[in-house]
Structure 1
Amino acid sequence: MAIDGEKIVQAVMEGSRIRESRGIIPLFGVYLSIFSTQYYNRINFDFEKRIKEVQGIKAAELLIQAAQECGYTTFQGVRNSWEWDEIVQPMIERKEDQLMGFVQVAVAFGWGDLQVQKLIPGSDLVIRVGDSYEAKGYVELNGIADTGKCYMLRGVTGAFMDLLYGEGYPEGCFTFSATEPLCRAKGDPYCEFVARKSLR
């Protein structure tokens, strides 16, 4: 059975109506909140401009690492949730279907129109996104970039592979890392993320 993305999006839409008094949405085993992507972009890109480097590590790399660790923890929570068990798990026939489930949950969370272009189990993952809010936001704030600017999506692409093919949670984080060879912030027609085993 293929992963039914519409069913997952519908579950997230219905679940997002349940909010705590502080605006937190308990859903898919994690706590979600709704906030402006413009705010997120401004903070990230301002951090990158102001900090530039910390102890020899570029600010962009720190943002990617933070996104990967966050994605790793978030989607570990997602796949251990009762919503996953009820909605997604019945659609999973093989290990790689988990990845398709992760992607559809990310789409439902509003992270973009993620599409898996290629998956070589245990080796390579290529995800394409046509509407990255990071790329769009960067161009709106700064104009055309000379490097990829989708730090969150880049980190999350690595995290998906970590969860499937890394050591058991939590030791598997950073087993994989992703690059962004194509980015709409650079003028490319879409953003593309390629995850492979980390060189460490």
Structure 2
Amino acid sequence: MKKASKAVVVFSGGQDSTTCLFKAMKEFETIEAVTFDYGQRHKLELECAARIAAEFNIKHHVLDMSLISQLAPNALTRDDIAIEQKEGELPSTFVDGRNMLFLSFAAVLAKQVGAKHIVTGVSQSDFSGYPDCRDVFIKSLNVTLNLAMDYEFVIDTPLMWLTKAQTWQLADDLGVYDYIRENTLTCYNGIIADGCGECPACLLRARGVQEYEAAREEGLRV
């Protein structure tokens, strides 16, 4: 099947976006990656994304979105806000409007570089309750961006209906399971690979690994 011409991948250097990056490398003739500096408290995320992009010779853009941390204080940008989730409330790691802004700026970049596809690793199956990871939001924003710029964008969400275990399986299918386990940064505390093992992101990642590896040992697909 002929590859589509060009895509911009929203890229944080984490498990999900790196899996999407490798998938996009197989599906598009050309890809560029965009990472957002939104004042996250562990700058290692930016370094991790830059290193992976450089390793695979992918053009990498870093956009300053630090205004987000001023408008919407959250646990990802403030050391004095604990990482927690209280019953009936959004996690303290939720950043109001983050994906809306990220995808909007990614779309502006995509149009400038002649890309019709924007790839993002959001998932409604394992999304921690974040409303801006829902499929209905992505579809709505896709229509809005097309109207706003009179350009036929397609927001691709290859992980939308995958659990973390299925995302690990996808990485294995792509031949990059070990690479993603060893070189990506998912941890809210800024520890690469398997992380701190205690924050919500690490616990979700670890459960996915355990579920996938258990199924793989039995010769099953998750």
TM-score by length of 1: 0.29
Which structure is higher in helix share? Answer: 1
Structure richer in strand, relative to its length = 1
- Scaled by the length of structure 2, what TM-score is found? 0.27
